[in-house]
Chain A
């Protein structure tokens, strides 16, 4: 699909809007991961279920936005390119618009990975503790052999 100058500007603007939305969403997911890590660390397990449900909804939204971003990138001829490769191909105005967004995206991605890593670590430990507790607990008997 060939773009005229104005439609290219519109497409880039739409692409940057999607990135802004992705940034906001990633921020929300990071906050949930942090809340999850804190709840698991302080053994407030009752909170985790609600957080997981909330997170699932956000992840579905994230998938939708990611598909939209890929579609918009494809239309601009940036299909499968990294941020750096996109910046190499973008003109001056596009670079000015996208460069700070990509920087923020990198930082947000690091925050998300970091918080997810912490949450995963403590949740894995709690699951291990649960398994050990179950293994040590007396098992319920299905049949009373003594009648």
Chain B
């Protein structure tokens, strides 16, 4: 069997073209080595050869030599395992990062180690009361005025702390919803990402069907999926659409696989070339404690605008406690499976109040920090905003009760509140204030009267004792509470000052533990990113080495063409010339 005269030239030509393309791709990689989200590209080739059947009757069997190389496609170098690990770690890191942001805002209010705060205000009150013990000072209006000023300073600090915690809660809510702020909230970002990924799914598949790989769009989609994983835990899967997966029954009754082409006799003659679809599911712990999932983006099913889910925030900025987020599955979902999933913080104090929650992500961190009760969610790692609000309320209310009860005793059992609430409701950290009647002189600190000759002195001594008492629900101050029928105060066996120190310590411990967790999570995330970059990122050394290899291959292909030309010249001009 004769070889085609010019066969070698097409081999050399295919090698020249392939290596030229490889050099072009190397250039593209180098040009984008600093482009965010760019994935290294490579040329995929295969050897060209005919697959003629070999017949045993052939008289002169020949060896089949290939006809060069075929460029199949330009592909990206990605490792799905690394992508999945990176995204899981991203979800985890974002949760601890979100919690840290909340703890930092609380620290600015309650960190008594770095700011002269509530604890110091209690110490100042104690100091004035010590001065008031002196009989020379007890009836001096200046000392009473100083005590009032110190009380005012304390109530101002409590008001300020309570207001700042409320502001921190509202900021946290803004991070979720973002309505009315200059920055987008998490829900808007998640909805944007889901819509864009859904649209890209459609665009990419449309391009891939006509043979355009759309690598840049794939990069864009991967970048968005990475970003989405910082908000919620997700899983990404690739699959063939319904028309190209599963089986069907052929007219002859046989069961056939949709991914293959069949001839008229029912024999497989090829595999259908059809691009994969991408599905994104959100995994969550459901009300029974089991891991469940909700499809957020479902390939291209339903078409543009219908293949993705939507999220909404429940709650208001004015009452952000107990905020939650509802995810409604992809729009084209059938009605039976379209039950929305509401993600909330649940309630640690009431474990029967089952709820869905996410195991990570910045959205769950905001929801957890905004838990409605001080106990927070059962899965909590740190105390929530409401814990600190209620602790401060307890402190303010107990302090006011103790001071007012002792002063009532000092005033011969007549109501003489030194501290009150601004709006007449129960005393909290936000509304506690010095009674205006004390300013106007209608109410006095203790009162030396005929019925209570030592009223003022006793009041000073009793208040001083109260400042040093560890209230545990069993301790009284000189039997005053029992006499006046007031419930004994309970601060968990702590003085006012110690109670505040304890609140501050809880915050400091939570913050330290969370910072350590955040540091570990971020270090691991960076380790995963480095590994991912070593696979998908552009390495200058590697590309430079590839460039030299491809150039050598290009030169060799060029030399092959020259050699073939020389061989042809020999064949045409110098063969069989003897005797001419």
List the interface of chain A (C-beta within 8 A of B): 34, 37-38, 40-43, 84, 107, 110-111, 114-115, 117-119, 121-122, 124-125, 128-129
In the bound complex, how far is the Cα of B351 from the Cα of A114, in angstroms?
22
Closest partner residue, chain B, to A111 (CB atom): B513
Does B332 have its Cβ within 8 Å of any Cβ on chain A? no
Taking a contact as CB atoms under 8 Å apart, the answer to whether A37 and B524 are in contact is yes
Task: Select which of A34, A40, A110, A122 is within 8 A of B516 by beta carbon.
Answer: A34
Specify which of B92, B380, B527 is in contact with A40 (CB 8 Å cutoff).
Answer: B527
B380, B527, B528 interface centre (most CB from chain A within 10 Å) = B527
Tell me whether B517 and A125 are in contact (CB under 8 A). Answer: no
Find out whether the CB atom of B523 lies under 8 angstroms from the CB atom of A125: no
Residue in contact with A117 in the complex, picked from B92, B381, B519, B531, CB distance below 8 Å: B92
- A118 to B524, Cβ gap below 8 A? yes
Provide the main secondary structure of the chain B interface.
Answer: helix
Smallest Cβ-Cβ distance to A117: which chain B residue: B92
Chain B residues positioned under 8 Å from A84 (CB to CB): 351
Residue contact B513 to A122, C-beta cutoff 8 Å: no
Q: Does B520 contact A (CB under 8 A)?
A: yes
Given contacts A42-B527, A107-B381, A118-B520, contact A128 B81 (CB under 8 A): yes
Check if B528 sits within 8 Å of A118, measured CB to CB.
no
A122/B381 in contact, CB under 8 A: no
Q: Is the CB of B381 within 8 A of A125?
A: no
Q: Footprint of A on B, CB under 8 Å?
A: 81-82, 85, 88-89, 92, 351, 379-382, 513, 516-517, 519-521, 523-524, 526-528, 531
Whose C-beta in chain B lies nearest to the C-beta of A31?
A: B516
Q: Are B523 and A42 in contact (CB under 8 A)?
A: yes
Are B517's CB and A111's CB within 8 A? yes
Given A110-B381, A114-B92, decide whether A37 and B85 contact each other with a Cβ distance below 8 A: no
A119: chain B residues within 8 A (beta carbon): 524
Which residues of the partner chain A approach B379 to less than 8 Å between Cβ atoms? 110
Q: List 21 A-B contacts (CB under 8 A).
A: A34-B516, A37-B520, A40-B524, A41-B526, A41-B528, A42-B523, A107-B381, A110-B381, A114-B381, A115-B520, A118-B89, A118-B521, A118-B524, A119-B524, A121-B88, A121-B89, A121-B524, A122-B524, A122-B527, A122-B528, A125-B531
Name A104's closest neighbour in chain B (CB-CB).
Answer: B509
B388 CB → nearest A CB, Å: 16
Nearest CB of A to B88, in Å:
7
B residues less than 8 Å from A107 (CB atoms):
380-382, 513
- B85 interface neighbour in A43, A110, A121, Cβ under 8 Å: A121
A120 to chain B, nearest CB (A): 10
Which chain A residue lies CB-closest to B522?
Answer: A41
**Chain A hits for B381, CB < 8 A:** 107, 110-111, 114
Say whether B531 contacts A129, CB under 8 Å: yes
Find the A residue at minimum CB distance from B88.
Answer: A121
Report the bound CA distance from A17 to B228 in whole Å.
45
Shortest A34–chain B CB gap in Å is 5
Distance (Å) between the CB of A122 and the closest chain B CB? 5
Known: A38-B520, A114-B517. 18 other contacts (CB 8 A): A34-B520, A37-B524, A40-B524, A41-B526, A41-B528, A110-B381, A111-B516, A111-B517, A114-B92, A114-B381, A115-B520, A118-B92, A118-B520, A119-B524, A121-B85, A121-B524, A122-B527, A128-B81
For the complex, give the distance between the alpha carbons of A124 and B521 in Å. 15
Q: Is the interface of A mostly helix, strand, loop or mixed?
A: helix
A117-B517 Cα distance, complex, nearest whole Å: 11
Q: In the complex, what distance in Å separates the CA atom of A61 from the CA atom of B516?
A: 24
Inter-chain contact A125/B513, CB cutoff 8 Å:
no
Q: How far is the CA of A66 from the CA of B128 in the complex (A)?
A: 52
| Complex contact B517–A41 (CB within 8 A) | no
Give bound CA distance, A119 to B517, whole Å. Answer: 11
Give complex CA distance A124, B89 in Å.
13
Name the residue in B82, B92, B523 with the highest tally of chain A Cβ atoms < 10 Å from its Cβ.
B523
Which residue on chain B has the smallest CB distance to residue A43?
B527
Question: In chain B, what residue has the closest Cβ to A35?
Answer: B520
Residues of chain A contacted by B521 (CB below 8 angstroms)? 114, 118
With a 10 A CB-CB cut-off, give which of A34, A37, A121, A124 has the most chain B CB atoms.
A121
Complexed CA–CA distance, A138 and B546 (Å)? 21
Taking the nearest CB of chain A, how far is it from the CB of B383, in angstroms? 9
Name the distance in Å between A55's Cβ and chain B's nearest Cβ: 15
Chain A neighbourhood of B351, CB < 8 A: 84
Instruction: List the A residue with the shortest CB-CB distance to B81.
Output: A128
Residues in B whose Cβ lies below 8 Å from that of A128? 81
List of 8 A-B pairs having minimum Cβ-Cβ separation, nearest first: A41-B527, A34-B520, A118-B524, A41-B523, A110-B381, A122-B524, A38-B523, A41-B524
CA–CA, A37 and B85, complex, Å: 14
Minimum Cβ distance to chain A for residue B230 (Å): 16
A-chain residues with CB within 8 Å of residue B82 when the two chains form the complex: 125
Q: How far does the alpha carbon of A124 sit from the alpha carbon of B88 in the complex, in Å?
A: 14
Question: Who on chain A is nearest to B510 by CB?
Answer: A107
Q: How far is the CB of A2 from chain B (nearest CB, A)?
A: 29
Q: How far is the CB of A69 from chain B (nearest CB, A)?
A: 22
B85 & A125 in contact (Cβ 8 Å cutoff): yes
Residues of B within 8 A of A111 (CB): 381, 513, 516-517
Q: How far is the CA of A118 from the CA of B81 in the complex (A)?
A: 15
Q: Across the interface, which residues of B come within 8 angstroms of A121, CB to CB?
A: 85, 88-89, 524, 528
Contacts of B527 in A (CB 8 A): 40-43, 122, 125
- B92–A125 CB distance below 8 A: no
Do residues B517 and A115 form an inter-chain contact, with CB atoms below 8 A?
yes
* A residues less than 8 Å from B382 (CB atoms): 107
What is the CA–CA distance of A84 and B92 in the complex, to the nearest angstrom?
Answer: 27
Q: What's the minimum C-beta distance from B239 to chain A, rounded to whole angstroms?
A: 24
Instruction: List B contacts of A41 (CB < 8 A).
Output: 523-524, 526-528
A41 CB, nearest partner CB in chain B, Å: 3
Specify which chain A residues have a CB less than 8 angstroms from the CB of B523 in the assembled complex.
37-38, 41-42
In the bound complex, residues from chain B placing their C-beta under 8 Å from that of A118 are 89, 92, 520-521, 524
Residues of chain B lying within 8 A (CB to CB) of residue A42: 523, 527
State in angstroms the CA–CA spacing of A110 and B92 once bound together. Answer: 13
Give the chain A neighbours of B81 by CB distance below 8 A. 128
Residues of chain B contacted by A37 (CB below 8 angstroms): 520, 523-524
List, in ascending order, chain A residues with CB within 8 A of B517's CB: 111, 114-115
Chain A residues near B524: list those with CB within 8 A.
37-38, 40-41, 118-119, 121-122
List the A residue with the shortest CB-CB distance to B351. A84
Q: What is the distance, in angstroms, from A18's C-beta to the closest C-beta of chain B?
A: 22
Considering only CB atoms, which chain A residue lies closest to B382 in the complex?
A107
